[in-house]
């Protein structure tokens, strides 16, 4: 009997150990595409020995508490309004549960991941490690290939589907690079040149003292915007504490010499002022290659907020994959690099503007959620985050879904659809302003209507009735939130003035006004505005100019139409600095 008991015990132990040994092979699909994302084509299998930096986003244990806190510190009616969190407090809320850390470490050990290659974020919610393609394929139960972008001729290593061991369900939010095909070069800049609008004479200084309806309706300059949005009499007083951040992608470089030419022409009192460049993840500062988008962002953010310190973040992905070489570090994805860098800084800027985006449906939901939650972290620390709403109205191109069904549908833009950022649409003309036809707007298919916006979107949907039913998500987060001028911007590029349009112009314009409000608050010993939307949709709405005409056609429709109150063309409207200053000063 003793011998039998020993045998039985050994057999039981063997049976128990087998599932433990195999549990890492029991996969569940995390995300997959039904077809190769549009604009990309299969080039061939990825070399097994190609190495890349894998990023693993772990489930943040107290994320609900973080978001709840974000709303409290951003709501003017709450007793905690303005009590933003420190980096350490945010890291404590996003830190994974110890069980998550233990399981993930066991997973990595099982696949012989070199411990010395692992880097953890401050909150330990992100892990970056170096792996080979063969190693990644085993870990994720997938097959990586090399894909080529038809327009940019860029090669990337991606997969159409990836899985995780079922035991990691609820512990890992996202893994990259996997199914997100967006790259620095393929993402959309939201600006474009306007050769049909003749730029102002380069030899003559151009400063207006008031809003000239004839001039400022056709060409836009800093003095037009400062007069229109009533910032021209405000003098920043907290430049030792308040700062402004601009995110740059697509190998776009802001040019120092062009800024001085711009100042001489349009803001003479700012001549000699400058900006700082932070090169991030391989980003550069090539002064021989001035970028349209970069110069637009820097010239107009400083043109309005001067002398507030401005930082341009030149953000690049890792080197693109070369089909004939074992190129390292092929992550090359937007947003995460910049977010992880900023969130790991002890001190951050109070205002940020980004003028890039993608069709929401091209961004895997797990990736979009992780990025959006990163913006929630940034907002909880007191940052106001602006994103351009896009330049395709309710959607560009054929406006069909990419789920294999090819259903006709409006195409919202991400990250503008993230409920934790302030999306900025575009207007044109003055006295009155009207919504411009390219202003991106609509409703998210990923994110539900946030609580601060429910009443505003319900009122619009009631006025819309059954029009466009089935083409958009009635329960989705509506965007844009606000708007600003968006065409005829006079920008110096390579020493020459050109006319530029797009919500890329609107975002830094609105953000610059917010930066001045933050300056006012800080100089009076108060907290910066932080996450704007709860304020804008409540007491702040009376500080905005409601835009009631204009539409944003797209997808073979006339699009939405601006109306009284919030609408998905111009949001709640354009800023009136004087009124907003009075509201935040109460």
Of 55, 170, 164, 30, whose CA–CA distance to 107 is shortest? 164
**CA pseudo-torsion sign 365, 367, 371, 376:** positive
- Give Rg (Cα) of the chain: 25
Q: Which residue in 75, 297, 358, 359 is the catalytic one?
A: 297
**CA pseudo-torsion sign 377, 125, 147, 281:** positive
Contact by Cβ (8 Å): 316, 184: yes
DSSP one-letter string for 97-138: PHHHHHHHHHHHHHTT--GGG-EE-TTS-EEEEEEEHHHHHH
565 is in an annotated binding site: yes
- Check if 293 is active-site: yes
Contact by Cβ (8 Å): 428, 486: yes
- Check if 79 is active-site: no
Q: Helix (H, G, I), strand (E, B), or coil: what is residue 188?
A: strand
Give the whole-angstrom CA distance, residue 343 versus residue 247: 14
Contacts of residues 194-200 at CB distance under 8 Å and 24 or more positions apart, as own/partner, are 194/487, 194/488, 194/499, 194/500, 194/501, 195/499, 197/487, 197/488, 197/499, 198/499, 199/490, 199/496, 199/497, 199/498, 199/499, 200/265, 200/490, 200/497
Of 518, 514, 383, whose CA–CA distance to 85 is shortest? 383
546 is in an annotated binding site: yes
Q: Which residue in 51, 301, 504, 551 is the catalytic one?
A: 504
Give the whole-angstrom CA distance, residue 527 versus residue 340: 24
519 is in an annotated binding site: no
List CB contacts of 143: < 8 A, sequence separation 6 or more.
45, 137, 159
127 is in an annotated binding site: no
- Check if 504 is active-site: yes
What angle do the packed helices 256-266 and 292-305 form, to 10 degrees? 50
Contact by Cβ (8 Å): 383, 497: no
Q: Which residue in 258, 293, 366, 576 is the catalytic one?
A: 293
Of 461, 473, 430, whose CA–CA distance to 566 is shortest? 461
Name the binding residues.
546-547, 565, 567
Q: Which residues are annotated as a binding site for Ca(2+)?
A: 546-547, 565, 567
Q: Which residues are catalytic?
A: 293, 297, 504
């Amino acid at each position: 009997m003793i011998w039998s008991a020993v045998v039985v015990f050994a057999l039981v132990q063997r049976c128990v150990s087998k599932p433990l040994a195999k549990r890492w092979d029991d996969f569940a699909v995390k995300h997959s595409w039904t077809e190769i994302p549009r604009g990309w084509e299969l080039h061939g299998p990825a070399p097994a020995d190609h190495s890349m930096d894998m990023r693993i986003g772990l489930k943040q244990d107290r994320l609900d508490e973080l978001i709840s806190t974000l709303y409290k510190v951003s709501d003017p009616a709450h007793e905690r309004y303005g009590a933003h969190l420190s980096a350490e407090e945010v890291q404590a809320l996003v830190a994974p549960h110890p069980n998550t850390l233990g399981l993930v470490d066991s997973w990595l050990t099982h696949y012989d991941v070199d411990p010395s290659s692992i880097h953890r974020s401050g909150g330990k919610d992100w892990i970056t490690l170096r792996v080979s393609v063969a190693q990644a394929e085993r870990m994720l139960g997938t097959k990586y290939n090399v894909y080529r972008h038809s327009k940019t001729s860029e090669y990337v290593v991606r997969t159409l589907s990836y899985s995780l061991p079922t035991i990691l369900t609820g512990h890992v939010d996202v893994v990259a690079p996997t199914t997100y095909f967006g790259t620095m070069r393929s993402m959309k800049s939201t600006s474009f040149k306007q050769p049909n609008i003749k730029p102002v004479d380069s030899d003559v200084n151009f400063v207006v003292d008031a809003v000239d309806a004839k001039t400022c309706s056709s060409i836009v300059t800093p003095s037009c915007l400062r007069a229109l949005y009533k910032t021209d009499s405000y003098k920043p007083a907290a430049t030792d504490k308040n700062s402004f951040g601009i995110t740059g992608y697509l190998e776009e470089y802001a040019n120092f010499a062009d800024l001085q030419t711009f100042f001489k022409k349009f803001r003479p009192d700012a001549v000699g002022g400058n900006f700082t460049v932070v090169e991030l993840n391989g980003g550069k500062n090539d002064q021989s290659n001035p970028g349209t988008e970069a110069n637009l962002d820097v010239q107009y953010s400083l043109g309005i907020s001067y002398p507030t310190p401005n930082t341009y973040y030149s953000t690049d992905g890792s080197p693109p994959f070369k089909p004939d070489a074992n190129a390292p570090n092929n992550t090359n994805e937007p947003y995460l690099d910049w977010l992880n860098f900023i969130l790991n800084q002890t001190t951050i800027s109070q205002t940020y503007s980004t003028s890039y985006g993608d069709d929401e449906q091209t961004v895997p939901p797990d990736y979009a959620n992780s990025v959006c939650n990163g913006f929630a972290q940034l907002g909880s620390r007191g940052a106001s985050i602006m994103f351009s709403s896009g330049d395709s109205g309710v959607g560009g191109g054929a406006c069909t879904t990419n789920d294999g069904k090819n259903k006709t549908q409006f195409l919202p833009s991400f990250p503008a659809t993230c409920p934790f950022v302030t999306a900025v649409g575009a207007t044109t003309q003055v006295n009155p302003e009207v919504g411009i036809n390219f202003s991106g707007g609509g409703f998210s298919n990923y994110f539900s209507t946030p609580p601060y916006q429910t009443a505003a979107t319900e009122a619009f949907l009631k006025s819309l009735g059954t029009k466009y039913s089935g083409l958009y998500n009635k329960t989705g987060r509506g965007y844009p939130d606000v708007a600003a001028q968006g065409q005829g911007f006079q920008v110096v590029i390579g020493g020459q003035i050109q006319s530029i349009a797009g919500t890329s112009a609107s975002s830094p314009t609105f953000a610059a006004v917010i930066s001045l409000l933050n300056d006012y608050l800080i100089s009076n010993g108060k907290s910066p505005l932080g996450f704007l939307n709860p304020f804008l949709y409540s007491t702040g709405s009376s500080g905005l100019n409601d835009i009631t005409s204009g539409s944003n056609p797209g997808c073979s429709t006339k699009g939405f139409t601006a109306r009284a109150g919030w609408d998905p063309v111009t949001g709640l409207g354009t800023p009136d600095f004087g009124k907003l200053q009075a509201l935040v000063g109460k």
